[in-house]
């Protein structure tokens, strides 16, 4: 096999691999770690946070008649010297916080 043919085959393989990787990346959901990061950034706009957690397994949540695949997590903070706990839900497709509620202390 000639050098030109080998270079052409390797180039075609690299191009196909690159395009396939792009397609897979588009279909990939937000990771739980990124979902937690997005939620923390949103909560930090309202003040400092003291703790956070997230479930690693996505679950379904229905809101306003729409079903979302979400990550569920929580945020802790201190407001006026009192601890406050919040539960949040992040869309696993987009990374948007779709709901947040204050937990009963």
CATH number of 37's domain: 3.10.450.40
Residue stretches of the chain with pLDDT short of 50: none
Q: Please give the pLDDT value at position 80.
A: 86
Counting the structural domains of the chain, the total is 1
| Residue 8 vs residues 12, 13, 42, 94, 101: alpha-carbon distances, Å | 6, 9, 48, 38, 57
Q: Please give the pLDDT value at position 7.
A: 57
Residue 15 belongs to a domain: no
Q: Please give the pLDDT value at position 90.
A: 94
Residue 68: domain span: 29-102
pTM here? 0.70
Q: Please give the pLDDT value at position 15.
A: 64
Give the pLDDT confidence of 56-85 residue by residue, as tens digits: 999 999 999 999 999 999 999 988 888 899
Residue 36 belongs to a domain: yes
């Amino acid at each position: 096999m000639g050098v030109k043919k080998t270079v052409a085959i390797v180039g075609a393989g690299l191009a196909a691999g690159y395009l396939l990787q792009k397609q897979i990346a588009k279909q990939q959901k937000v990771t739980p770690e990124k979902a937690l990061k997005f939620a923390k950034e949103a909560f930090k706009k309202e003040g400092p946070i003291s703790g956070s957690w997230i479930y690693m397994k996505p679950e379904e949540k229905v809101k306003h008649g729409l079903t979302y695949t979400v990550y569920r997590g929580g945020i802790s903070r201190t407001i006026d010297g009192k601890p406050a706990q919040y539960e949040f839900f992040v869309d696993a497709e987009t990374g948007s916080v779709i709901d947040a509620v204050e937990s009963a202390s």
